[in-house]
Amino acid sequence: MSRKIIISCAVTGAADHTHLNPAIPITPKQIANECLEAYNAGAAIVHIHVRDPNTGKPSMDESLYIEVVDRIKEKNQDVLVNLTTGPGARIVLGKEEPTDFGEGTTLTTPSKRVLHIENIKPDICSLDIGSFNFGPHIFVNSPENVNKMAQKILDIGVKPELEVFDLGGLRQAKELIKNGYVKKPYLFQICLGIPWAAEATPEIMMTMRNALPSDTIWSSFGISRNQLPMVAQSILLGGHVRVGLEDNIYLSKGALAPGNASLVERAVNIITNMGYEVATSNDAREILKI
């Protein structure tokens, strides 16, 4: 039997890019519907951020997460829900005085970043590892804060998806594991192409794959035009895959994706054309020991 590949779909993200593609979901109803359509297209896992329904800007409002998850579970109990803990880590330096943080800074406490995880208890939650320049701002995940978040996630009993953006973050994640904050099998997401972290190339993905600890289940993605090529690369190297409008708004050069399902369908085609099988949500639960 051929290997089963888990597809994760990141349906909206936290980037200010809703004006670039009208298919990017904003309201809880739209986000939930995109999750359900992605599942029907072949995604076993849906990765969820929420947005202010009035502005489209990223939000940390717990009630929005609750509404999205409730809407999904009302219609589908099978899909694995992966909620982000990324918001609350952004620093924008002041223009005149760098220590006067500028507009767009979201930096908050580890407890607030995982509050919705404690109350909703999803199947999976992302845990970003490492600090780096994320486009024009700074993404801050200090070892102390990550440890505090990891401990809370462990206590809740939710599976953490360790998101690593470069080799430094991967080293930090391995230290986290060494200190007992994460249970086997470890779930890693290798995130490639984000400015200014690791580039989305076969060589870098292979290098990061080779540095993963044993007892690891891993997935990877590339952003923008590298999304679909990195799907094939991840499969070749023994990993699983992530697609979605969070990472890429185009279906092909110059053609906007009409929704997340279309990107999932492309991933399904790549997987099956390479001779592999698409994992169902039940397969994913078995693989990830959830």
What integer is the mean pLDDT of 217-238? 97
Q: What are the tens digits of pLDDT across the range 244-274?
A: 999 999 999 999 999 999 999 999 999 999 9
Q: What are the tens digits of pLDDT across the range 90-109?
A: 999 999 999 999 999 999 99
Q: Tell me what pLDDT residue 266 has.
A: 98
Q: Tell me what pLDDT residue 238 has.
A: 97
Q: With beta carbons less than 8 A apart as the criterion, state whether 191 and 197 touch.
A: yes
61 — pLDDT class (breaks 50, 70, 90)? very high
Give the separation between CA 7 and CA 182, rounded to whole angstroms.
Answer: 22
Indicate the helix (H) or strand (E) that contains 47: strand 45-48
Kindly tell me the sign of the dihedral angle through the C-alpha atoms of 132, 231, 35, 52. positive
Q: Answer whether residue 56 shows pLDDT above 80.
A: yes
Fold (topology level) of 4-288: TIM Barrel (3.20.20)
Q: Answer whether residue 1 shows pLDDT above 60.
A: no
Instruction: Quote the mean pLDDT of the chain.
Output: 97
- The domain limits of the chain are 4-288
Q: Answer whether residue 204 shows pLDDT above 80.
A: yes
Q: Tell me what pLDDT residue 245 has.
A: 98
12: its two tokens: 């909206």
Q: Tell me what pLDDT residue 186 has.
A: 98
Beta bridge partners of 250: 256
What integer is the mean pLDDT of 175-201? 97
Q: Tell me what pLDDT residue 242 has.
A: 98
Q: What are the tens digits of pLDDT across the range 111-165?
A: 999 999 999 999 999 999 999 999 889 999 999 999 999 999 999 999 999 999 9
Percent pLDDT > 70 in the chain is 100
Q: Which of 4, 72, 65, 67 is nearest to 37 (CA)?
A: 72
Which DSSP string corresponds to 10-32?
Answer: E-S-SSS-TTT-TTS--SHHHHH
2 — pLDDT class (breaks 50, 70, 90)? confident
Buried b (16+ CB within 10 A) or exposed e, 224-251: eebbbebbbbbbebebbbbbbbbbbbbb
